[in-house]
Amino acid sequence: MSFLQNNLLSLMMIMPVLGAAILLIIRHTDAEIEKRNIRQVSLLITTITFVMSLVLWFGFDNGTAEFQFVEQHAWIGDDISYYIGVDGISMLFVVLTAFLMPLVVLASWDSIHDRVREYMIAFLILETLMIGVFTALDIFLFYIFFEGGLIPMYLLIGVWGGVNRIYASFKFFLYTLLGSVLMLVAVMYMYLQAGTTEIPQLMNYSFDTDVQKWLWLAFFASFAVKMPMWPVHTWLPDAHVQAPTGGSVILAGVLLKMGGYGFLRFSLPMLPEATVEFSWLIFTLSIIAIIATSLIALVQEDIKKLIAYSSVAHMGFVTIGIFLLNVNGVEGAIFTMLSHGVVSGALFLCVGVIYDRLHTREISRYGGLATNMKIYATIFVLFSMASIGLPGTSGFIGEFLVLNGSFAYNSWIAFLAATGVVLGAAYMLYLVRRLIFGVLDKDDVKAMPDLTLREKLVFAPLVAVVLWMGIYPNSFLEPMHASVSALLENHFTTDISHASTDTLGAPAGR
Amino acid sequence: MNGETLTILPALPELILAVGAMALLMLGVFRGDKSYRQVANLSILLLVFCAVVMINQVGGEREVIFGDMFVTDAFAVFAKTLVYIGSAVAILIAGKFLSEHNIAKFEYPILILFATLGMLIMISANNLMSLYVGLELQSLSLYVLAAMNRDRLRSTEAGLKYFVLGALSSGMLLYGISLIYGFSGSTDFDVLATSLRGEGGAPIGVVIGLVFLLAGLAFKVSAVPFHMWTPDVYEGSPTPVTAFFAAAPKVAAMALLVRAMINGFPALIAEWQQVIVFISIASMLVGSFVALVQTNIKRLMAYSSIGHIGYALVGLAAGTQDGIEALLVYLAIYLTMTLGAFAAILSMRRNDGMVEDIDDLAGLSTTNLPMAVAIAIFMFSLAGIPLLAGFFGKWFIFLAAVEAGLVPLAIIGFLASVVACYYYLRIVKVMFFDESAGAFEGGHGQAVSAVVGVAAVLNSPVSFLLIWPLVGAAAWAAGSLLF
């Protein structure tokens, strides 16, 4: 047991790679049986990884801000090491990643016929890299995982994507790479200045104020693209629309979270002065993002594009929350990221369900699904409400905390951000009206069957988690408390007590 | 006398190689063209034997012989090991190609041996004279190799072009050497290093000579603006010859450039550093932007190698020990990427001959997945994406640049690498996303498969385990240069 405890994170990263190796040797004369075996092994491996992530969650000590499950082995020279661990900020992202993966495998069960083996291998390797991003405690190691994830995602979009997949895959790869190389220069500079690549040590190193600005901008270039923030978000609608359903889920659910995680892990603790100085930039861009992309989402004809734009708007909330630099804001931001990971993933899966049946994403081709696909309609409406932020669903808690935090900071920011909530309700309800309600007058839509057992299995855990997060958010907020307060207390002198009381009584009681 | 044998020991591998190459030449002459296979196999054995002798008998101790003309040290051992590998692999992968094109002549391995000998002397040159002798021995062999396929217009054109431009650059080199000799009174690196350090700075003639010297050497490493020959020669030469050009001679010329600058002109670092920074930036930019529009994969690889020389030169531009260490790491990784990529290009064949268009790779992932994965690994590695070995090369190179205060150079380099990424991605796209244009036909031989396989494994995440030993060796080698 102690071996498992001491190496849990490494095992979680090795497991998918091992699974990919097993997939390589699965052979059967009957191609269909071979594909079935490949799918089953992938499901098994991702499920085991998910169970391990639950062990991680239960073994996690909420009371400390220290890194836990730490492993360190010498790697390149004296400075760069294989150094991993989790704290309250990163732990739940690992769980989120492991949680979404089995669902992605299940969702791709019937919709992927070509090159199933390669598809699953790409996903499994991507899982390892994503867990690596959230657990790396060495900045060099972090960069390797952060950038390495581009390769499988590029292939996933390019090989299994839609009509315009090549343009989308190139745009995704080059956009993200361009942002990241600037960050790499900053990483090198920090390494040479501080003489270490260990993130915990870098957090306690104070860089010169002038240098901080440049370093902050370099990190910003990378994370803003990944996030994505307005105006560098344009790769996201393309990538989302063209990616296969599983790719969209992982892209929205996990990859977008890396930007926010990066801000929390690097920009805030390592470059606090620049963070305070540039927060106006973040607020401006975020508010533009919230309002502009919500308006853009209103006029979309493509379901996936609409959800993609709504992602940009939600990420605007996240960046506002992070840079409020108070407990409510930061916890709200993390919670919104987790919630958005589940909800937008679920919405993309919903789109996948009807896309598999009608092979179009055009909103006007559907209508009246509430009549013939009752279970589907119920689930879709639930996730739409979660996306809007209806109390009782996960979306509400995050937005509430962020807005609460922004009132403590500046009411104008709160006011403008709140208009985003209204607009969010507008475009989601408009989508629901066109898709689910209305008259069922198209023959091919009438012929669409309701959810199969497999699809129900995919959605059941998502529904449960969305409600759980909405009704009892403390399970998710408690692990964060210690780390978030430590982050803010150690690096920011501003009085944070004004917003740290009355964190959660209200939403939890409803 | 005992003392005599000791003094030639440091040059023993070179002597064995020279004698062995001549013996094999005799064998080839007497047995005629059918001796190709025998001569090729013995040549590889000879190279391996010389490498073993070098590592076991010579070692990394600094020794200077032949009137300070010839030096061996850890730096030489490191660079020569790479050269031996590059040359041996170039012979290894050539067999099938040459016999199919009716140019399986015993001269091919012999010329490679002589070129290798020239490179070894270049690496060990401690004097502008021995530098020139080694360079010419190498270059003359390479000119002939480029024109190996006599019946093909392209190949003879490549050889002629290479020769004319090469002669021009040799002229510049000699002119620079004569200026340096005239104004400083010596051609010996050690003497130059101390005499130029004197009061009042170096005479202007030496600086002008140095610029000519750099121009000549920039031609040999195909750095911008002396790169014009590279695409034509790469495209025109038979593919195994191109593979050879892209690997070993680049390593040797870079090593020569490093030793000449660091050992010979440390006092003039401010002067040569700005030249190196310029040609490094120019090479990175030209290598990235011009390659975007190439359709022939060998031409594309030519521009890619120009770009990579630009990256490697960043290490020299830093001018520090860490910079040289990074440069050596980069060269070692570059060698594996290039040899692997060219070996893979050798597999691009249909029944009516070799194909060289990037579009011929279309759909390779459906017809030959292992080869497509290997090429994808080389391309991502060349692009410097993490997870693959190429990233480590870029990391160390630019780390050294940032450490030396050359942050703008690092930023330009990284931006150029994003541009370059586009055309590497394009190859991956053609192989994985496009519809198949028909499978490649015919066997490419086990040697090619083996080289592709080994190189792909070395560039894959397996490199995580190998990078630290490599860095250690490079640090050992870089430490032996006089700083």
CA-based diameter of chain B, in Å? 71
Are B418 and A177 within 8 A, CB to CB?
A: yes
One-letter amino acid at A147 equals E
Statement: residue A33 has pLDDT above 60: yes
- Give the pLDDT mean for B106-125: 93
| Within a domain: B79 | no
| Within a domain: B69 | no
Q: Return the residue of B nearest to A144 by Cα.
A: B386
Q: What residues in chain B have their Cβ under 8 A from chain A's Cβ atoms? A: 365, 369, 380, 385-387, 391, 395, 398-399, 402-403, 407, 410-411, 414-415, 417-418, 421-422, 425, 428-429, 432-433, 464, 467-468, 471
Q: How far apart are CA B426 and CA A266, in angstroms?
A: 33
Question: What is the least distance, in Å, from the CA of A123 to any CA of chain B?
Answer: 16
Statement: residue B341 has pLDDT above 70: yes
Statement: residue A504 has pLDDT above 50: no
Tokens representing A421? 């909530």
- pLDDT at position A502, please? 45
Residues of A in contact with B464 (CB under 8 A): 75
Binned at pLDDT 50, 70 and 90, residue A496 comes out as very low
Binned at pLDDT 50, 70 and 90, residue B1 comes out as very low
- Give the pLDDT mean for B175-201: 85
Statement: residue B483 has pLDDT above 80: no
Are B415 and A181 within 8 A, CB to CB?
A: yes
pLDDT digits (tens, 9 = 90+) for A301-353: 888 888 889 889 889 889 999 998 888 889 999 999 999 999 999 999 988 88
Mean pLDDT for all residues in chain B: 88
* Pick from A118, A147, A173: CB nearest B386: A147
| Within a domain: B364 | yes
* Pick from B387, B414, B467: CB nearest A151: B387
Neighbours of B69 (CB within 10 A): 21
Which of A34-38, A121-125, A491-495 is most confident? A121-125
Q: How far apart are CA A218 and CA A221, in angstroms?
A: 5
pTM for the complete prediction?
A: 0.91
Q: Return the residue of B nearest to A147 by Cα.
A: B386
- pLDDT at position A501, please? 45
Q: Return the residue of B nearest to A143 by Cα.
A: B386
* Pick from B399, B402, B432: CB nearest A155: B432
Looking at the 3D structure of chain B, how many domains does it have? 1
* Pick from A76, A118, A174: CB nearest B467: A76
- pLDDT at position B212, please? 93
Statement: residue B218 has pLDDT above 60: yes
Binned at pLDDT 50, 70 and 90, residue B6 comes out as low
Are A182 and B429 within 8 A, CB to CB?
A: no
Q: Which of residues 112-151 of A touch B (CB under 8 A)?
A: 118, 129, 140, 143-148, 150-151
Statement: residue B198 has pLDDT above 80: no
- Give the pLDDT mean for B346-361: 81
Statement: residue B327 has pLDDT above 90: yes
Are A169 and B422 within 8 A, CB to CB?
A: no
- Give the pLDDT mean for B352-368: 83
- pLDDT at position A507, please? 43
Statement: residue A355 has pLDDT above 80: yes
Q: Which of residues 26-85 of A touch B (CB under 8 A)?
A: 75-77
Q: Which residue of B394, B402, B411, B422 to mutate against A (max A Cβ within 10 Å)?
A: B402
Residues of B in contact with A178 (CB under 8 A): 415, 418
- pLDDT at position A1, please? 53
User: How far is the first Cα of chain A from the last one, in angstroms, to the nearest whole number?
Assistant: 40
- Give the pLDDT mean for A481-487: 86
Q: Return the residue of A nearest to B428 by Cα.
A: A155
| Within a domain: B429 | yes
Taking alpha carbons only, the member of B326, B262, B272, B394 closest to residue B78 is B326
* Pick from A170, A182, A192: CB nearest B425: A170
Residues of B in contact with A148 (CB under 8 A): 385-387
Neighbours of B6 (CB within 10 A): 11
Question: What is the least distance, in Å, from the CA of B396 to any CA of chain A?
Answer: 9
Binned at pLDDT 50, 70 and 90, residue B333 comes out as very high
For B56-80, give the DSSP string: IIITT--EEETTTTEEE-HHHHHHH
Those residues with Cβ within 8 angstroms of residue B178's Cβ, 6 or more apart along the chain or in another chain: B209
Alpha-helix runs per DSSP H in B319-368: 321-346, 364-367
Question: Alpha carbon of A114 to those of A32, A161, B428: distances in Å?
Answer: 11, 12, 18
- Give the pLDDT mean for A28-33: 84
Question: What is the least distance, in Å, from the CA of B468 to any CA of chain A?
Answer: 5
pLDDT digits (tens, 9 = 90+) for A241-261: 888 888 889 988 899 899 999
Strands A80-86 and A68-76, by their bridges, are: antiparallel
Are B407 and A148 within 8 A, CB to CB?
A: no
Q: Does A159 touch chain B (CB under 8 A)?
A: yes
Binned at pLDDT 50, 70 and 90, residue A160 comes out as confident
Statement: residue A509 has pLDDT above 70: no
Q: How far apart are CA A328 and CA A496, in angstroms?
A: 9
Q: Report helix, strand or coil for A402.
A: helix
Size of interface A-B (CB pairs under 8 A): 83
* Pick from A118, A170, A189: CB nearest B402: A189
Question: What is the least distance, in Å, from the CA of B418 to any CA of chain A?
Answer: 6
Q: How far apart are CA B126 and CA B188, in angstroms?
A: 6
Are A151 and B410 within 8 A, CB to CB?
A: no
- pLDDT at position B258, please? 93
Q: Is the dihedral of CA B52, B53, B58, B64 positive or negative?
A: negative
* Pick from B365, B399, B464: CB nearest A188: B399
- pLDDT at position A499, please? 44
- pLDDT at position A494, please? 53
pLDDT digits (tens, 9 = 90+) for A84-110: 999 888 999 999 999 999 999 988 888
* Pick from B407, B414, B429: CB nearest A181: B414
| Within a domain: B68 | no
Question: What is the least distance, in Å, from the CA of B451 to any CA of chain A?
Answer: 22
Check: CB of residue A213 under 8 Å from CB of residue A123. Answer: no
Are B425 and A75 within 8 A, CB to CB?
A: no
Residues of A in contact with B369 (CB under 8 A): 118
Residues of B in contact with A189 (CB under 8 A): 402, 407
Tokens representing B397? 């190179």
CA–centroid distance for A404 within its chain: 22
pLDDT digits (tens, 9 = 90+) for B261-282: 998 888 888 888 999 999 999 9
- pLDDT at position B77, please? 92
> Across the strands, what pairs with A362?
A302
Taking alpha carbons only, the member of A262, A279, A172 closest to residue A222 is A262
| Within a domain: B216 | no
Q: What is the dihedral angle through the alpha carbons of B336, B339, B344, B347, rounded to the nearest 10 degrees?
A: -150
Statement: residue B16 has pLDDT above 90: yes
CA-based diameter of chain A, in Å? 69
Question: Alpha carbon of B132 to those of A216, B43, B138, B143, B271: distances in Å?
Answer: 50, 25, 10, 16, 22
Are B429 and A151 within 8 A, CB to CB?
A: no
- pLDDT at position A510, please? 34
Q: Which residue of A76, A157, A166 to mutate against B (max B Cβ within 10 Å)?
A: A76
Q: Is the dihedral of CA B445, B450, B455, B461 positive or negative?
A: positive
Mean pLDDT for all residues in chain A: 86
Task: Give me the domain span that covers residue B454.
Answer: 268-483
Taking alpha carbons only, the member of B378, B385, B367 closest to residue B431 is B367
- pLDDT at position A505, please? 42
Binned at pLDDT 50, 70 and 90, residue B121 comes out as very high
pLDDT digits (tens, 9 = 90+) for B44-98: 999 999 999 998 877 778 888 888 889 988 999 999 999 999 999 999 998 888 8
Torsion angles phi and psi, residue B67, rounded to 5: 60, 45
| Within a domain: B92 | no
Statement: residue B200 has pLDDT above 80: no
* Pick from A76, A159, A165: CB nearest B468: A76
| Within a domain: B78 | no
Q: How far apart are CA B453 and CA B451, in angstroms?
A: 5
Question: What is the least distance, in Å, from the CA of B277 to any CA of chain A?
Answer: 18
Q: Which residue of A116, A119, A128, A151 to mutate against B (max B Cβ within 10 Å)?
A: A151
- Give the pLDDT mean for B118-145: 93
Higher pLDDT, A364 or B143: B143
Pick from A361-365, A499-503, B55-59: least confident: A499-503
Q: What is the dihedral angle through the alpha carbons of A151, B386, B364, B441, rounded to the nearest 10 degrees?
A: -170
Taking alpha carbons only, the member of A182, A269, A184 closest to residue A489 is A269
- Give the pLDDT mean for B315-327: 91
Strands B353-354 and B349-350, by their bridges, are: antiparallel
Which H or E run includes B194?
A: helix B189-196
Check: CB of residue B315 under 8 Å from CB of residue B395. Answer: no
